[in-house]
Structure 1
Amino acid sequence: MDVIEAITQRRSCRKFKDEPIPDEKVTDLLEAARLAPSGGNIQPWRFIVVKSEEIRTQLAQATPMPFVPKAPVVFVCCVDTQVFSPESVGTRFHELKEAGAFLGTPLEEMRPEDYAKRRNSDPIAARAYLGLNAAIAIDHITLRAVELGLGTCWVMMFDQDKLKEILNLEDRYHVVALLPIGIPEHVPAPRPRIPLNDVLLKEV
């Protein structure tokens, strides 16, 4: 299966077979996320893999979507706000510099401390930036899942505080999505898409 096939076949799946997902497939999905690109290589995504029936049942207290706890596996997709700490930013900066990512740009001569100051200090903008980067990793998971014969569904209706309580999450982590995963009970029909002419604003 090539990338465009995975994109074409990907659906939001809300009914899953009552079959466990092999550990190697779970690891495969996490690896797809790990390899995702991110701005400044900050790699803010963190995941909790919920397999136990006990915790999956408790997730029903945090989301109104009844199919979430019924999936054999649920990824709780988070971001780590501490990726913006000077130490973390400095480490990522040196990694990028060593990899030659800054060649031919003004960043090639920039000092780590100056690089760190480039971050937007607005907490709302920073949270949105982390979520945007995490979304890339999550989409890697959804497309790899198609290749593995699995279904997924982005769920963004949940109680942040309740999830943190159930999962004993530290304040540094922020949940951006729930991703129930399983073998589809049926393949949903393709969703309507607006035509390409409506997507393309102009060519200049």
Structure 2
Amino acid sequence: MTDYRDEAVAPATSIEEFRKIVTSRRSVRRFTDEPVPEDVVEDCLDLAMLAPNSSNLQPWEFYVVREKQVMSQLAEACLGQNAATTAQLLIPIVARSNTWKKNSLRNLDYWPEETMPKIIKTYYSKIALFHYNPGPLGSLGMAKKAMGLLAGLARPVPRGPYGINEMRTWAVKSTALAAQNMMLAFRAHGYDTCPMEGFDERRVNKILALPNDAIVTMILGVGKRAPDGIYHRRYRFPRDEFVHYI
């Protein structure tokens, strides 16, 4: 795979090819028995991890499940949905709200250039460690929220994330971006997905032995689209109800 990450000039692209990928992506509910090649899965994981994310703290984890017994347990936890029972693999996509400190410091080690600008070093070694820290039981978050309310009277200030719940939302937002990258990547490879939110999260957490801060954002069913894999024609509400020009 060509690596364009360090290109000074963006490579030529095709809007029609992108449109084909986006418009042909559907939530497929039934899959064939054709397996998904391992190299395809690995490439889609790599592309998922290129998703934009808050402060490059990468608060995501991906559990690639092929083992039949674990897949069966997950399918049951997904309420027996066809997208889970017929998938060739399941990928629980997990947001982590407590990895911000570890990953902030890792940015200091993984910086890809010879020298790190002082502002970047200060950000990851000091500012981010304060900004994303909710404190014990969210106590620091409440104090920061009060400080933000006062400072915000005079100038624009970042409004959070402050408390523990806001950090959970923060982690899920970046993780959802990675999930969309992954779904489009599978479609580009000729495979299909179904992002499932209907599942028993407590059972999924137990099956995967997830840590306490883990939030299962969705479980992705992956495979080749079966002839009856799409239940109905796609539709959307009127565009002008959702798009605002100011």
TM-score strictly above 0.5: yes
Q: Which runs of 5+ in 2 are unaligned?
A: 1-15, 133-160
Whether the 8 Å CA contact 1:74–1:178 is kept in 2: the answer is yes
For residues 101 and 196 of structure 1, what CA distance do their matches in structure 2 show? Answer: 44
For residues 110 and 134 of structure 1, what CA distance do their matches in structure 2 show? Answer: 25
Whether the 8 Å CA contact 1:78–1:175 is kept in 2: the answer is yes
CA positional deviation for 1:74:
0.5
Residues 1-204 of structure 1 aligned to structure 2 (within 5 Å): 2-67=17-82, 68-85=84-101, 87-92=102-107, 110-111=122-123, 112-119=125-132, 120-186=161-227, 188=230, 190-203=233-246
The amino acid that maps onto 2:130 is K
> How high is the TM-score relative to the length of structure 1?
0.85
Q: 1:29 to 1:99 in 2, by over 3 A?
A: farther
Tell me which structure has the larger Cα radius of gyration. 2
Q: Deviations over 1:126-180 (max 9, x none)?
A: 1011011000000001111111111111111112221121122232432111000
Aligned pair count reads 199
The amino acid that maps onto 1:173 is A
CA positional deviation for 1:64:
1.4
Whether the 8 Å CA contact 1:9–1:146 is kept in 2: the answer is yes
Whether the 8 Å CA contact 2:91–2:219 is kept in 1: the answer is yes
SS at match of 2:190: coil
Q: 1:7 to 1:83 in 2, by over 3 A?
A: same
Partner of 2:135: none
After TM superposition, the structure 1 stretch with the greater mean CA deviation from structure 2, 2-11 or 94-103, is 94-103
Q: 1:195 to 1:100 in 2, by over 3 A?
A: farther
Whether the 8 Å CA contact 1:97–1:108 is kept in 2: the answer is no
CA positional deviation for 1:97:
9.6
For residues 110 and 29 of structure 1, what CA distance do their matches in structure 2 show? Answer: 33
SS at match of 2:236: coil
Q: Which runs of 5+ in 1 are unaligned?
A: none
SS at match of 1:49: coil
SS at match of 2:93: strand
CA positional deviation for 1:63:
1.6
CA positional deviation for 1:88:
2.5
For residues 93 and 192 of structure 1, what CA distance do their matches in structure 2 show? Answer: 46
User: Runs (4+) of structure 1 moved beyond 4 Å?
Assistant: 93-103, 107-111
Q: 1:108 to 1:55 in 2, by over 3 A?
A: closer
